[in-house]
Structure 1
Amino acid sequence: MPKITSTNRRNFFKLAAGTASITILPASKIWGADAPSNQFRFAQVGCGGKGYSDMKNTIGSGAKLVALCDVDKSRAGQAFKEFGQLPIYDDYRVMLDKHDKEIDGVVISTPDHTHACIALEAIKRGKHVYVQKPLARTYEECQTLLEAAKKFGVVTQMGNQGHAGMGLKLWEQMQRGNEFGDILEVNCWSNRPVWPQGMTAIPPAEAIPEHLNWDLWLGPSAKRDYAKKYLPFNWRGWWDFGAGAMGDMACHNMDPAFWIFKLGLPNKIQAKASAPAGISYPAWSEIEYTFDKSPVTGKPLKLTWYDGKKLPPKPEGSHPNLTLGGNGCMVVGSKMTAMGGSHAGRPRPIAFTGKEYSTDVKEAERHWRAESKKYKNDNHHKQWVDAAKAGDQEAPGSSFDYSVPFTQSILLGCVALRFPGEQLIWNDKNKNFSNHKKANELLNFEARAGFNLKL
């Protein structure tokens, strides 16, 4: 097809004016899905591991990749090789400066401690953001992201992809139909950590690999010596970089409870752990959240998180050989108890309260399996891409309006791990713990020079 310049375009319309009729095709018909006016152009920050799949899923959702950024050339090697014709950076700030007019959105798939500073820089430039879970490492960072998204009017999504799945819709149907009865308790759990935790000493310094920009990897965190015990995945177990087992899986496994019961911030939190969290998270933990009132149930609700191979008790009336699995969510009600697997997985009835296990449970499970066929899994990345193109801030299921208070609740649980056995009382109006000064000091941290965490 010949190139249509401004001159021959005018001649084309002059010629067309003398014909009996003419059909003017919309740009989308001429250019297909890649019509320049309809493109959603994005940059990927963090291109290895989960970043690679986020990038491919975003492209598969109709977006156009225009630039890549990663501080680790080895970890991002596959992406850099596949998209080597595009601009590649190790500093997101430089990338955003150079391609400000070419980028509509940014996908952020980096370690937890860098989520907020990257997302904030993008949002302040008016870029839509998809941020991997958890949104940030501290309560205050999450709050800043929410306020920034509202101020700059961008479309947001947290990367807890199970939120777009069929399972969450089935959980909703159960709750709407009052299948549980009164909610007695909620239990969520994970087989994480599958990386080292419980460390009490900083590892000795080692030589920085040539493929890694260690200073940029540290981002807003205080400078420290490189050690291979931090990378590529073990950073999750270190307090300064990750959020432990909860940071990895609670955004998935607690999602059904927070969504169907419309939970916000808890009123009280109390933790048990193998040891108090310090420079690292404990080997195992149990964290009890108390919500004085759920907007859905109108009553107090208790939610308990288990990790490190700790599990909730099996409900009475369940099959004697019931296995809970490595990850899940269980809602215990006065009528029925249901359980779903990882990533807001499809729930299934496992017990009827006050009754011995019988074929009634199997019949109920068959019924709800059939009900699940009415639903389909949505594309979490496409939700964000389509909403960003439409400028619809409310369309993504895990937009910051939902995912910020959800993540903040998880992070308050992380703070409770520093003080196991002590009950922390949260004052949502004042946005702090009313009874614990030291806990309040952990709600934020000061970014080092060159990295911004302020709106």
Structure 2
Amino acid sequence: MKPTLFPNRRAFLRGTAATAGGIFFPNLLLGQAGGVKKLNVAGIGGAGGKGASDIAIAGEGANVVAICDIDSNRLKDAQTKYPDAKMFTSFKEMFETMGDKIDMVTVSTPDHAHYPAAMEAIKRGKHVCVQKPLVNRIWEANQLHEAAKKKGVKTNMGNQGHTGEQIRQLKEWMNAGVVGNVKEIHVWTNRPIWPQGNAAKDIYTGKTAPKPRRKEESNEAAEGVGQAPAHVNWQQWLAQVPDHPYIPGLHPFAWRGHREFGAGAMGDMGCHIMDGPFWACELGEPYQIEAEVGELTDLSWPAWSHVICSFKHAKYGDIKLHWYEGTKDGKPMKPERPAKLEAERDFDKMRGGFLIVGDEDSILNPGDYCEALEVVGNRPKLAKFFKETPKTLERSLAPGKPQLELVKAIEQNKTAGSNFDYSVPLTKLCLFGNFGITNPGKVIKWDSATQTTDNEDANKLIKRAAVRQGWEYSADSI
């Protein structure tokens, strides 16, 4: 029997966001012959790089109906892969043209454009999966969260590690007291692997171009500052950022190190590597941030940094989280080798990972995605927790695939694991670290109640200084 609870496709999809635990008909779109049809998904920044894989993953469970990208060369490739999808260089034009033909959107642009793209989608009632970090300003994170709740859309962030089995095991182990009382957390990465610090200065001022990593980037590197190549829609790439001269190499990769367009190494990798400790230890917002850095410039995030975020935890008391990135004096920034680590283990080759230090034991994960947990020097305890700790947490709908996870969450009227209730605070933790990075040697106090610091310079990073006319978004205005 054909269900008649919702009068049309759009109303049905709104109902999936508004009804929790109510009557739900998975995968049914009313009025369709046979009663079954997939969701329609569009990709913003979806024609190349990570965006191409994001929309492809969503497409495993949905129809890809539109691709938006500022690079027309990439759009040609996307059209070949998705011959029935519409191609756009402006996401605003895409939404105006496609209307209710889009149900969900993946956002895979540079960091500075995440916010306007996601807000435009949310304003129109579209479910959104946004790449990490969600934004590169604290104010934007809060507005994005409020807007999603206001419009009742389902959300997810593209931190694939949060869909995995071992991050759930970590959370369950910590709940069971695997390390005792947590004292310190150490997180490190080999990033940046793009120009930052002094290496980026000449690139961002146009004196030199970055060395192309792929053949497709060679033309951009040869163009020089000023006029963008014909296949790059520079104004759409800038999105909300006021007019800025074209700089070769920013698209498609070197933007990560630019303080206006990216969020640096902490923004890029923090949502991955800190995900496990943040969730398992229930960290919340720090009350204090401080950092030491090397080669910080007005335009670029630094070549290396060591950030300390301090938390007051209801269960553990005071916890300090240490973040390490980059290379100093030819040596990777990372914590000291764990004293109990087996002698045959090569700690130097662990290029990224985390260490949760408790008063009984420590958990080590030598990887970026909470994928290789071990109790340091205590294999019997590790085996015991693997065997005996009950699985109390709901498992992901699509392990390793946050975009597909959101598709299934919409279909089944469930909540994706890295929804904005979770991923906004995680993103903010990365941005708190950047307060310290841009004010090295200073102790920055954060006030959660007012969402401000006690440092005038750090407060300048909370909200973007200016946005392009016509690109103003807020939760109140949508």
Q: What corresponds to 1:347 in structure 2?
A: 373
Matched, 1:335 2:334: no
- TM-superposed CA distance for 1:215, in Å, is 1.1
Superposition map of 1:284-433 within 5 A: 284-293=304-313, 295=314, 297-308=315-326, 309-324=332-347, 325-340=350-365, 341-351=367-377, 361-366=378-383, 378=399, 379-392=401-414, 395-433=415-453
Indicate the residue corresponding to 1:436 in structure 2.
Answer: 455
In structure 2, relative to structure 1, the CA distance for the partners of 1:161 and 1:28 (3 Å cut) is: closer
Give the counterpart letter for 2:90 in structure 1.
D
Q: Is the 8 A contact 1:276 1:419 kept in 2?
A: no
Q: CA deviation at 1:206?
A: 4.6
- Change in Cα spacing, 1:410 to 1:55, as seen in structure 2 (3 Å) is same
| TM-score, normalisation: structure 2 | 0.81
Q: Which secondary structure does the structure 2 equivalent of 1:229 belong to?
A: coil
One-letter code aligned to 1:58: A
Residue of structure 1 aligned with 2:295, choices 275, 281, 304: 275
- Per the normalisation by structure 1, the TM-score is 0.85
User: How far did residue 366 of structure 1 move?
Assistant: 5.0
User: CA shift at 1:389, angstroms?
Assistant: 2.9
Aligned partner of 2:125 in structure 1 is: 126
Separation in 1 of the partners of 2:257 and 2:388?
39
Contact 1:43-1:67 at 8 Å conserved across structures: yes
Is 1:200 aligned to residue 177 of structure 2?
no
Verify the 8 A CA contact 1:166 1:346 in the aligned structure 2. no
Q: Answer with 311-320 or 86-95: which moved more.
A: 311-320
- Counterpart position of 1:154: 153
What is the letter of the counterpart of residue 311 of structure 1?
K
- Please name the residue that 1:354 is paired with: none
Look up the SS of the partner of 2:252 in the other structure: coil
Structure 1 position 382, deviation (Å): 2.9
Native 8 Å contact 1:271 1:421 kept in 2:
yes
Q: CA deviation at 1:267?
A: 0.4
Are the counterparts in 1 of residues 45 and 51 from structure 2 also a CA contact under 8 Å? yes
- Contact 2:134–2:141 (CA under 8 A) maintained in structure 1: yes
Corresponding residue number in structure 2 for 1:59: 59
Identify the residue that residue 260 of structure 2 maps to in structure 1: 240
- CA distance in structure 1 between the aligned counterparts of 2:282 and 2:236, rounded to whole angstroms: 38
Deviates more, 1:375-384 or 1:155-164: 375-384
SS in 2 for 1:216: helix
Cα deviations by residue, 1:111-148 (Å, 9 ceiling, x for unpaired): 10000000001101111100000000100011110000
CA distance in 1, matches of 2:269, 2:108: 15
* 1:189 lines up with 2:209 in the alignment: no
State the shift of 1:200 in Å: 3.5
Q: Which moved more, 1:276-285 or 1:149-158?
A: 276-285
* Contact 2:176–2:389 (8 Å) recurs in 1: no
Contact 2:194/2:254 (CA < 8 Å) preserved in 1?
yes
* Deviation (angstroms), 1:320: 2.8
CA shift for structure 1 position 227: 2.0
Deviation string 1:296-315 (CA, Å, 9 cap, x unpaired) is x3412111111102001122
Secondary structure in 2 aligned to 1:106?
strand
AA partner of residue 322 (structure 2): T
SS at match of 1:292: strand
The answer as to whether partners of 1:348 and 1:368 remain within 8 angstroms in 2 is no
Shift of 1:150: 0.8
8 Å CA contact 1:42–1:66 kept in 2: the answer is yes
Equivalence for 1:17: none
1:224 equivalent to 2:249? Answer no
Give 1:34 deviation, angstroms.
Answer: 10
Opposite residue 310 of structure 1, the aligned amino acid is: M
TM-aligned CA distance change 1:117 to 1:371, over 3 Å: farther
Q: What is the alpha-carbon distance in structure 2 between the residues aligned to residue 289 and residue 380 of structure 1? A: 28
What is the alpha-carbon distance in structure 1 between the residues aligned to residue 79 and residue 308 of structure 2? 43
Q: Which residue is equivalent to 2:211?
A: none
Q: Which protein is bigger by CA-based radius of gyration?
A: 1
SS in 1 for 2:376: strand
C-alpha change, 1:363 and 1:437, in structure 2 (3 Å) is same
- Tell me if the contact between 2:107 and 2:114 (Cα under 8 Å) persists in the aligned partners: yes
Distance 1:35 1:380, change over 3 A: farther
Q: Which amino acid is the alignment partner of residue 53 of structure 1?
A: S
Cα 1:332/1:77, change in 2 over 3 Å: farther
Deviation at 1:109, TM superposition (A): 0.6
Q: Is the 8 A contact 2:161 2:272 kept in 1?
A: yes
Question: 1:260 Cα shift?
Answer: 1.1
Corresponding residue for residue 135 of structure 1 = 134
RMSD: 2.5
Is this contact kept in 2: 1:267–1:291, CA < 8 A?
yes
How many Å apart are 1:336 and its aligned residue?
1.0
In the aligned structure 1, how far is the partner of 2:269 from the partner of 2:422? 17
**Cα gap change, 1:27 to 1:428, in 2 (>3 Å):** closer
Aligned ranges 1:1-12 → 2 under 5 Å = none
User: 2: distance between equivalents of 1:27 and 1:171?
Assistant: 31
Aligned 1:28-47 pairs, distance under 5 A: 38-47=37-46
Query: CA–CA distance in 2 between the matches of 1:409 and 1:319?
Result: 32
Partner of 1:69: 68
* Mapped contact 2:255–2:262 kept (Cα < 8 A): yes
Letter of the aligned partner of 2:96 in structure 1? D
Distance 1:27 1:333, change over 3 A: closer
Deviation at 1:278, TM superposition (A): 2.3
Distance 2:34 2:69 in 1: 29
The 3-state SS of whatever aligns with 1:100 is: helix
Q: Aligned letter for 1:266? A: P
Greater mean deviation of Cα atoms: 208-217 or 127-136:
208-217
Amino acid at match of 1:203: T
Give, in angstroms, the shift of residue 365 of structure 1.
4.6
Structure 2: runs of 5 or more not aligned = 1-24, 207-224, 327-331
Q: Compared with structure 1, are the counterparts of its residues 30 and 316 closer, same or farther at alpha carbon in structure 2 (3 Å cutoff)?
A: closer
